[in-house]
Amino acid sequence: MQPKTEAVIFDMDGLMFDSEKIACACWKKAAAQYGYQINDELFLKTLGQTAVKNKKVYTDSLGADFPFEAAKKIRLQLGVQYFQTHGVPVKDGLIELLTYLKSRHFKTAVATSTFRENAVPIIKQAGVFDFFNIIVCGDEITKSKPDPEIFLKAASILEVPPEKCIVLEDSESGISAASKAGMKPILIPDLKEACDEVKALAFRQFRSLLQVVKMLEEE
């Protein structure tokens, strides 16, 4: 019998927000300003990774001279401009799920590879900041996904045993990290379909955040 869920941990980009397509477009524009071309295939390799790993992905493909830090700064500026103009695109079912979790007194966390200075403003602008007990960001850990550190840190702060946590993720590295943490990984794919090996690690695979409500109702 599975332990009853007490906490729900959310990834951010591609899971809470439909932001990966925007990030891809912004990276393309930023790289083009320096005469480089980033295609969809290259961008997809960076999903769920830290800035350090992303730098290696881009420089391995585009060359050591690719100005990663400068391009990243422009990419972030473009992203901020987009959200200020168009708002943060919230994934279907997010508000309904968060409202349900709050009404049932589940503990909640965001665990994102994005640095705090970039993550918190987006979460606040989307209007969901107050739904979460805590937010753990990429600049507050030493090892990134697929290492389980970020999820274990979130569970520790929430004071909930790992086996009583579910993790909502869209990335392969996130699902792997949640599995290593001894939690129940829920895979909700975004731009990139997970490989069979990662799918096998998932406790459940859904197409919508709304399906998480039904799963919890049936516990």
Task: Residue 66: give the domain boundaries.
Answer: 20-86
Answer whether residue 2 is part of any domain. Answer: no
Dump pLDDT digits (tens) for 63-75: 999 999 999 999 9
Question: Is the model more confident about 47 or about 70?
Answer: 70
pLDDT at 52: 85
CA distance linking residue 167 with residue 41, whole number of Å: 26
What DSSP string describes 99-164? HHHHHTT-EEEEE-SS-HHHHHHHHHHTT-GGG-SEEE-GGG-SS-TTSTHHHHHHHHHHT--GGG
| 48 and 98 fall within a common domain | no
Dump pLDDT digits (tens) for 128-163: 999 999 999 999 999 989 999 999 999 999 999 999
pLDDT above 90 covers what percent of the chain?
85
| 109 and 208 fall within a common domain | yes
Phi/psi zone of residue 192: left (φ > 0), alpha (ψ -120 to 50 degrees), beta?
beta
Domain's final residue, options 69, 86, 103: 86
Task: Give the containing element (helix H, strand E) for 167.
Answer: strand 165-169
pLDDT at 156: 99
DSSP 171: S
| 66 and 95 fall within a common domain | no
Angle between helices 68-86 and 116-125 (to 10 degrees): 10
| 74 and 131 fall within a common domain | no
User: Shortest CA distance to 15 belongs to which of 170, 123, 154, 122?
Assistant: 170
| 194 and 105 fall within a common domain | yes
Answer whether residue 1 is part of any domain. Answer: no
pLDDT at 10: 99
Domain's final residue, options 33, 56, 86: 86
CA distance linking residue 207 with residue 37, whole number of Å: 31
Answer whether residue 71 is part of any domain. Answer: yes
Give the total number of structural domains in the chain: 2
CA distance linking residue 173 with residue 145, whole number of Å: 5
Angle between helices 172-180 and 149-158 (to 10 degrees): 60
CATH code, domain carrying 77: 1.10.150
| 138 and 55 fall within a common domain | no
First to last CA, the chain: 10
The mean pLDDT of the chain is 95
| 80 and 132 fall within a common domain | no
| 24 and 13 fall within a common domain | no
CATH code, domain carrying 185: 3.40.50.1000
CA distance linking residue 202 with residue 185, whole number of Å: 5
* Residue 49: pLDDT band with limits 50, 70, 90: confident
Domain's final residue, options 38, 67, 86: 86
Beta bridge partners of 169: 187
Strands (E), 18-86: none
**Cα three-residue angle 127-87-22, rounded to 5 degrees:** 120
The widest CA-to-CA distance across the chain, in whole angstroms, is 56
pTM across the whole model: 0.91
